[in-house]
Structure 1
Amino acid sequence: MSGSQTESNVAAVVCVPTFRRPTHLEKTLASLAHQAEGVNFAVVVVENDSERREGKVVADAFLKSGALRGVCVVEPQRGNCRAINRAFETALDSFPSAEFILMIDDDEIASPLWLLEMVGGARQSGADIVGGPVVRSFETAPDRAATLHPVFDPGLSFSRFIPSLLGSGNCLLRRHVFESFEAPYFDLRFNFLGGGDMDFFKRCRLKGFTTYWSNDAIVTESVPAQRMKARWILRRGLAIGAINYQIDCKRHPSRLGRSLIFIKNFLTLPLSALRAVSMFQRTRCLLPTLHPICVATGRNLAAFGFSPSPYKQAKQTELDAERLTAHPSM
């Protein structure tokens, strides 16, 4: 991006929350630095590890070199929603002229035309929100069951208006969308469970905001071997079910609403079995077949207070690994 740009002509801001992925973050920022010209943009990197700050070191190097312009801030309170909220708030405050606020994860690589396709999709469609495909790049050769699993589905196959986005890993929002909500934008109840993005986009839909799918605005996500294991995939299904349940409870807090949710939970179990049969007929693989059952089970477990915390567990796993490295006898 040209060094002559000023804050007043920044049209878009790309938000990148990060936690202990310095190698991946470097690839993410490099892909942003090599975007095709046509959109004046800045980046906001949010370091969610106030102790190591490895991501901040990487981001500062890009900013100081002039490869990218923007800011890097540290969010000391950990959690997915806290980091994303800090990114959005910083983007809105630091670049008041920017009409488009985008987000990409720190394990994703933007295609060279990504920014042009996202902003172009918003301008041509007039949509308030734009999403695009997240194509998976498996770090080790995946088996057939993993490639067919819904968790790794990149999304739709052609550009069009859609009801709502399901995730924030590849998204654009116009500034006026945020102006319709009070901060924090992502509900902190989803901070460690995940699903704050799904909840936010559902609230956007209820407010009447339109969403467009730009099928050529591609980002590629690196999938580590750990996430290809059956245990992780099954747990992800349970988490999706818990997220869906929590969103329903938030939208229908009354006694009648809770009664209807109870009935819905009860019905999801036999319906999930039917979906599982359909999935098996299509895939002939056990792992994707179990996904509808895992989602339904996750809903029902959440109703009894058993909800996973994948983001919290991931961070705790890293901390435990550090302690074992420092004290091998533990």
Structure 2
Amino acid sequence: MSPNRAVDTAIDIVVCVPTFRRPDWLARTLDSLVAQTTRRPFAVVVVENDAGARQGADVAEAYFASGRLRGLALVEHAQGNCHAINAAFGTALGAYPAARFFLMIDDDEWAEPTWLEAMVATAERTGAGVVGGPVMPQIAQGGPPALARHPAFRPAFDTSGPVPVIYGSGNCLIARSTFVRLGLPAFDVAYNFLGGGDTDFFMRARRAGIQFQWEQEAVISETVPVARTTLRWLAARGLRIGAINYRIDRKHRLGGIGGVVIAMKSAVILSLSVGRSLRILAKTRQLTFALHPIAVAVGRCLASIGIEPQPYRAATPK
């Protein structure tokens, strides 16, 4: 936590930003928070997950010291996606006891100026415990622009209103009441290196009866480097999605029959994936799009025998 910094007990909104070895991108994220047009006072909690270099913490401290943003920076020494996010939410909840709403944005993203106002207004108007919004992919120069429509990048919804659940934390608002209902730590650290701790959290929220809303006007953009536009990377992303889906199904199964049902579900998904892929190929003529259903299905099957990708274990950006 930043030394000698008084916490503003009047803060009603906190934006949480986990970061790992992307100081330049983090600065762009924080610039987008500086540019928010809302009149609501808000704070920012930045969690550095590279305890050695601390470049992200240094960037955040400069924003707080200059007064461009209110907030706190801290270092989470336990490496892993879920450790960093849990530290962000846990610190925000404790340091700002009057805050009702906790938003999250990743360090490879930047928010439109009306983002925060749109998210909070939706939560207040609807009483939702979780609000999600679109993360719009921005393909780097040299990458195929058409990949912005790929299932790996496309937002889950495109219309504002109630939704059954959201799947990612890269653009979300979580009410304090939701954390109270589900308890802390928020994200299961078993997903630390696979990813999917956010999906698991939101699935638990749905099972607890939490109301979800989608706000299409609360737009965040995401950098998609050329390295993420290759067939190899997209296939690996599909495998990871399948593994996450399988693990969540297994975690939430009910009774002994659950394992049988999950195995049958995986077999059906695998058998149907070939037909889905062929239809997508005929429609789009894009192999990268067509292989996605097969990759997801194979990822489920590999996870069922204990083979999972670990993209967050390596000391590289996700």
> Shorter-chain TM-score: what band?
over 0.9
Once the two structures are superposed, residues 275-305 of structure 1 have per-residue CA deviations (whole angstroms, 9 ceiling, x without a partner) of 2123223322111101000000000001111
Percentage identity across paired residues of the two chains: 47
In the other structure, the counterpart of 1:111 is 112
In the other structure, the counterpart of 1:262 is 263
In the other structure, the counterpart of 2:218 is 217
Superposition deviation, residue 6 in structure 1: 6.6
For residue 152 of structure 1, give the secondary structure of its aligned residue in structure 2: coil
Letter in 1 for 2:70: R
Kept in 2, the 8 Å contact 1:139–1:225? The answer is: yes
Superposition deviation, residue 154 in structure 1: 2.9
Superposition deviation, residue 39 in structure 1: 1.4
Of the structure 1 ranges 153-162 and 233-242, higher mean CA displacement relative to structure 2 is found in 153-162
Kept in 2, the 8 Å contact 1:7–1:97? The answer is: no
Letter in 2 for 1:43: V
Of the structure 1 ranges 237-246 and 217-226, higher mean CA displacement relative to structure 2 is found in 217-226
Kept in 2, the 8 Å contact 1:145–1:286? The answer is: no
Q: How does 1:136-147 map to 2 (within 5 A)?
A: 136-143=137-144, 146-147=147-148
In the other structure, the counterpart of 1:323 is none
Once the two structures are superposed, residues 159-187 of structure 1 have per-residue CA deviations (whole angstroms, 9 ceiling, x without a partner) of 11100011000000110100012322101
Kept in 1, the 8 Å contact 2:139–2:145? The answer is: no
For residue 9 of structure 2, give the secondary structure of its aligned residue in structure 1: helix
Superposition deviation, residue 136 in structure 1: 1.0
Q: How does 1:185-224 map to 2 (within 5 A)?
A: 185-224=186-225
**C-alpha distance in structure 2 between counterparts of 1:139 and 1:267, whole Å:** 36
In the other structure, the counterpart of 1:37 is 38
Of the structure 1 ranges 122-131 and 77-86, higher mean CA displacement relative to structure 2 is found in 122-131
Superposition deviation, residue 145 in structure 1: 5.4
Once the two structures are superposed, residues 55-82 of structure 1 have per-residue CA deviations (whole angstroms, 9 ceiling, x without a partner) of 0110000000000011001000000000
Kept in 1, the 8 Å contact 2:139–2:226? The answer is: yes
Superposition deviation, residue 249 in structure 1: 0.7
**C-alpha distance in structure 1 between counterparts of 2:156 and 2:188, whole Å:** 24
Kept in 1, the 8 Å contact 2:7–2:96? The answer is: no
**C-alpha distance in structure 2 between counterparts of 1:280 and 1:123, whole Å:** 43
Of the structure 1 ranges 210-219 and 180-189, higher mean CA displacement relative to structure 2 is found in 180-189
In the other structure, the counterpart of 1:68 is 69
Paired residues in the alignment total 312
Kept in 2, the 8 Å contact 1:131–1:213? The answer is: yes
In the other structure, the counterpart of 2:227 is 226
**C-alpha distance in structure 2 between counterparts of 1:211 and 1:58, whole Å:** 33
Letter in 2 for 1:302: A
In the other structure, the counterpart of 1:240 is 241
Letter in 2 for 1:203: R
**C-alpha distance in structure 2 between counterparts of 1:148 and 1:168, whole Å:** 20
Report the TM-score, using the length of structure 1 for normalisation: 0.91
Kept in 2, the 8 Å contact 1:145–1:288? The answer is: no
**C-alpha distance in structure 2 between counterparts of 1:168 and 1:116, whole Å:** 18
Of the structure 1 ranges 139-148 and 92-101, higher mean CA displacement relative to structure 2 is found in 139-148
Once the two structures are superposed, residues 130-173 of structure 1 have per-residue CA deviations (whole angstroms, 9 ceiling, x without a partner) of 01110111222432552331111133222111000110000001
For residue 101 of structure 1, give the secondary structure of its aligned residue in structure 2: strand
The structure carrying a bigger helix percent of its residues is 1
Once the two structures are superposed, residues 72-98 of structure 1 have per-residue CA deviations (whole angstroms, 9 ceiling, x without a partner) of 010000000000000000000000000
**C-alpha distance in structure 2 between counterparts of 1:281 and 1:212, whole Å:** 34
In the other structure, the counterpart of 2:3 is none
Q: How does 1:276-315 map to 2 (within 5 A)?
A: 276-313=277-314, 315=315
For residue 310 of structure 1, give the secondary structure of its aligned residue in structure 2: coil
**C-alpha distance in structure 2 between counterparts of 1:259 and 1:37, whole Å:** 51
In structure 2, stretches of 5+ residues that fail to align are: 1-5
Q: How does 1:19-168 map to 2 (within 5 A)?
A: 19-143=20-144, 146-168=147-169
**C-alpha distance in structure 1 between counterparts of 2:146 and 2:223, whole Å:** 18
How large is the Cα RMSD of the aligned pairs? 1.5
**C-alpha distance in structure 2 between counterparts of 1:38 and 1:131, whole Å:** 21
**C-alpha distance in structure 1 between counterparts of 2:155 and 2:186, whole Å:** 25
> After TM superposition, where is structure 1 displaced by more than 3 Å over at least 4 residues in a row?
none
For residue 47 of structure 2, give the secondary structure of its aligned residue in structure 1: strand
Letter in 1 for 2:139: F
In structure 1, stretches of 5+ residues that fail to align are: 319-330
Kept in 1, the 8 Å contact 2:139–2:148? The answer is: no
Letter in 2 for 1:77: A
**C-alpha distance in structure 2 between counterparts of 1:278 and 1:202, whole Å:** 30
Letter in 2 for 1:219: I
Kept in 2, the 8 Å contact 1:145–1:287? The answer is: no
For residue 313 of structure 2, give the secondary structure of its aligned residue in structure 1: helix
Of the structure 1 ranges 221-230 and 102-111, higher mean CA displacement relative to structure 2 is found in 221-230
Letter in 2 for 1:113: T
